[in-house]
Amino acid sequence: MNEFITPPEHVEFKAKKLFGECGKIINGSIAYISLNGGGPTTKHTHEHNHLFIVTQGEAKILLDNETVIVKKNESFLVNGKIPHSVWNNCDEETVMIGISVI
């Protein structure tokens, strides 16, 4: 899932699969996270999961006992039952799509 490809019968077209089956979509949003921005300030939990897709910059996802860095054109599925928060991890604005799934 790390490489861009040109699908058959496409021209000047590059695609990269970001995720496969991960549940039923509840909702989706886009976030613009400024330098030193993110949240929540205290890690939180909930019943649904988050599929985060970074389209610009780099996000740092703080989990209960782990930190995950998600770079541009990458995704990460957060188990909502694990305490988590999300922060900008670079010197520019980070843009991230968040899709809530069950």
DSSP states of 37-102 as a string? -EEEEEEE--SSEEEEEEEESEEEEE-SS-EEEEETTEEEEEPTTS-EEEEE-SSS-EEEEEEEE-
Q: Which CATH superfamily is domain 25-101 in?
A: Jelly Rolls (2.60.120.10)
- Classify 28 as helix, strand or coil: strand
Please give the chain's pLDDT, 102 residues, in tens. Answer: 468 989 898 999 999 888 888 889 999 999 999 999 999 999 999 999 999 999 999 999 999 999 999 999 999 999 999 999 999 999 999 999 999 999
